[in-house]
C-alpha cells in the first residue's frame, strides 16, 4: 500500500474526455489507477424539444457555450487541474459535423496550450467500451456487442479492443430513431425513447401487436422504419387519447425489444461466444435490459450493461476510450479532424490492451 506522499510522486495518468457529437455536451476524467474521477453533462433536450428533434446549428452553438464552463466545473468538483492531465480524448465522429467541430477544436486548442497529446475517438467505440468501465468481472474479448443508439443499430463481434467485425446492422432507421419518430407520431416529447418507455408502462398488454421485422429470415440485420409506418397506419382516423397512446407505445416497445432480443440470441448462437454487452442510448431501456437478461439465462450466455446514465452520451466513456487509445504505443499522428461518417471497421486495434486474437 502506498502512502499519500508516494502516490503524489507517481506521474498522473489522467485522460480528459470530451463528447459533443450530437445534443449532449459531456466531459469526463479517467485515471489509470483510480478509474473514473468524475463527469459532467449538459443536455440540450429543452432546446431541441420544441422543434421535435435535434437542430444541428442550435446544437453546435450550445456546445460552444457550455464546453469550457463544464470543464471548469469538472476541475472544481474533482480537484484535478490541467497540469495533472496526461492526455485529451475527443469524439471525432460519427455525428453532426458542426457539433463535432466544437469538441475537436476545443481539444486541439487545449492540447496545444497544455502540451498534451490529443486523440480522436469513434463515438460508437466509446459506447462499446463503456460497459468495461464498470465491469467487475474483467470481461475480455472476444465478445459480442449490441450497439443501439439514435444513429446506429449494430451487432458487432469484438475480437480484441479496436478490432470490430460487424455481424449485422440496420438497413434503415436505427432503433433509437424509431423510438423518436414513433414518439412524435404519438405526440410524446423528444427524446422519444424515455417518453415511450414511461407511457408504455401504463399500456395494456396485447391490445395491439406490431411485427418483429426481419426475424423470419436468416441473418443479423435489422429494419425499423416499417414499424413506424405500422404505427402511423394504426393511428390513422383514431382519436388519440391517453390509453391509446399508452397501448400503442407498449406494443411498439415490445416489438423493438423482442426483435433486438431475437437477433442478439441469434448472434450468440452464430458466434458461439459467451458474453454480450449492450451499449448506446436504447440500452437504457428497462424492458430491453430485463428481456435480454432472461434470454441470457435461458440461452446460457451472459449479458452486461453500463449503468443507465452511461448508456446515453457522456464524456466518461470518451475519457475511458481515450485512456486505452493513448496507452497504445503506436504514435497518434493522424490529422485530428471531425469525421461525420466513420465506420467502426476502419479503426485500428488498440495494441497492448486486451486479447491479441484478430
**Among ligand KG4, Zn ion, none, residue 17 binds (CB under 5-8 Å by kind):** none
Nearer to ligand KG4, 120 or 150 (CB): 150
Q: How many helices (H) and strands (E) does the chain have?
A: 11, 10
Distance of closest approach, residue 256 Cβ to ligand KG4, in angstroms? 8
Nearer to Zn ion, 246 or 282 (CB): 282
Place of cell 452553438: 61
Query: Using CB under 6 A as the criterion, which residues of the chain lie in contact with ligand KG4 when the complex forms?
Result: 22, 149-151, 176-177, 179-180, 191-194, 197, 280-282, 284-285, 312-313
Nearer to ligand KG4, 192 or 354 (CB): 192
Q: Return d(Cα 49, Cα 88) in angstroms, integer.
A: 31
Distance of closest approach, residue 97 Cβ to ligand KG4, in angstroms? 15
3-state secondary structure 306-357: CCHHHCCCCHHHHHHHHHHHHHCCCCCCCCCCCCCCCCHHHCCCCCCCCCCC
Give the CA distances from residue 60 to residues 23, 25, 98, 143, 284, in Å, rounded to whole numbers and listed in that order.
Answer: 8, 10, 5, 35, 25
Q: Return d(Cα 82, Cα 244) in angstroms, integer.
A: 53
Nearer to ligand KG4, 10 or 202 (CB): 202
**Among ligand KG4, Zn ion, none, residue 247 binds (CB under 5-8 Å by kind):** none
Nearer to ligand KG4, 85 or 126 (CB): 126
3-state secondary structure of 50: coil
Number of residues that bind Zn ion (CB under 5 A): 2
Question: x/- binding map, residues 130-149, to Zn ion, per CB under 5 A?
Answer: -------------------x
Strands, sheet with 87-93, edge to edge from the N-terminal-most edge strand:
35-43, 24-31, 14-19, 87-93, 118-122
Give the CA distances from residue 331 to residues 4, 135, 183, 325, 328, in Å, rounded to whole numbers and listed in that order.
Answer: 33, 28, 45, 10, 8
**Among Zn ion, ligand KG4, none, residue 89 binds (CB under 5-8 Å by kind):** none
Nearer to ligand KG4, 80 or 261 (CB): 261
Distance of closest approach, residue 340 Cβ to ligand KG4, in angstroms? 13
Distance of closest approach, residue 285 Cβ to ligand KG4, in angstroms? 3
Q: Return d(Cα 228, Cα 259) in angstroms, integer.
A: 14
Chain residues 288-317 in contact with Zn ion, contact rule CB under 5 A: 313
Nearer to ligand KG4, 93 or 194 (CB): 194
Distance of closest approach, residue 176 Cβ to Zn ion, in angstroms? 8
What are 213's three cell numbers? 421485422
Distance of closest approach, residue 313 Cβ to Zn ion, in angstroms? 4
Residue 11: Cβ-neighbour burial (10 angstroms; 0-12, 13-18, 19+): exposed
Residues that bind Zn ion (CB under 5 A): 149, 313
Amino acid at each position: 500500500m502506498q502512502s499519500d506522499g508516494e502516490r503524489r510522486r507517481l506521474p498522473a495518468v489522467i485522460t480528459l474526455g470530451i463528447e459533443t457529437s450530437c445534443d449532449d455536451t459531456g466531459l469526463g476524467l479517467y485515471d489509470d489507477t483510480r478509474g473514473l474521477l468524475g463527469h459532467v453533462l449538459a443536455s440540450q433536450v429543452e432546446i431541441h424539444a420544441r422543434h421535435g428533434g435535434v437542430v444541428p446549428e442550435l446544437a453546435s452553438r450550445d456546445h460552444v457555450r457550455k464546453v469550457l464552463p463544464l470543464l471548469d466545473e469538472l476541475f472544481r468538483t474533482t480537484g484535478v487541474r490541467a497540469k495533472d492531465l496526461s492526455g485529451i480524448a475527443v469524439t471525432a465522429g460519427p455525428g453532426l459535423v458542426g457539433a463535432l467541430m466544437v469538441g475537436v477544436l476545443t481539444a486541439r486548442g487545449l492540447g496545444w496550450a497544455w502540451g498534451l497529446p490529443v486523440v480522436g475517438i469513434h463515438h460508437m467505440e466509446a459506447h462499446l467500451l463503456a460497459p468495461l468501465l464498470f465491469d467487475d468481472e474483467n470481461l475480455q474479448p472476444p465478445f459480442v456487442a449490441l450497439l443501439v443508439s439514435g444513429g446506429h443499430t449494430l451487432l458487432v463481434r469484438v475480437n480484441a479492443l479496436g478490432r470490430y467485425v460487424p455481424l449485422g446492422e440496420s438497413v434503415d432507421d436505427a432503433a433509437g430513431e424509431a423510438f423518436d419518430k414513433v414518439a412524435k407520431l404519438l405526440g410524446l416529447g423528444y427524446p422519444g425513447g424515455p417518453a415511450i418507455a414511461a407511457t408504455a408502462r401504463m399500456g395494456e398488454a396485447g391490445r395491439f401487436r406490431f411485427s418483429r421485422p426481419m426475424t423470419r429470415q436468416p441473418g443479423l440485420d435489422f429494419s425499423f422504419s416499417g414499424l413506424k409506418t405500422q404505427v402511423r397506419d394504426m393511428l390513422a382516423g383514431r382519436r388519440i387519447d391517453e390509453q391509446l397512446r399508452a397501448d400503442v407505445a407498449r406494443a411498439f416497445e415490445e416489438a423493438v425489444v423482442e426483435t433486438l432480443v431475437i437477433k442478439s440470441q441469434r448472434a450468440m448462437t452464430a458466434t458461439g461466444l459467451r458474453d454480450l454487452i449492450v451499449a448506446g442510448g436504447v440500452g437504457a431501456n428497462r424492458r430491453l435490459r430485463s428481456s435480454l437478461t432472461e434470454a441470457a439465462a435461458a440461452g446460457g450466455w451472459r449479458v452486461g450493461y453500463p449503468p443507465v446514465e452511461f448508456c446515453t452520451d457522456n464524456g466518461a466513456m470518451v475519457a475511458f476510450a481515450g485512456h486505452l487509445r493513448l496507452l497504445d504505443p503506436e504514435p497518434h499522428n493522424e490529422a485530428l479532424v471531425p469525421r461525420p461518417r466513420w465506420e467502426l471497421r476502419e479503426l485500428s486495434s488498440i495494441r497492448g490492451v486486451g486479447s491479441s486474437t484478430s
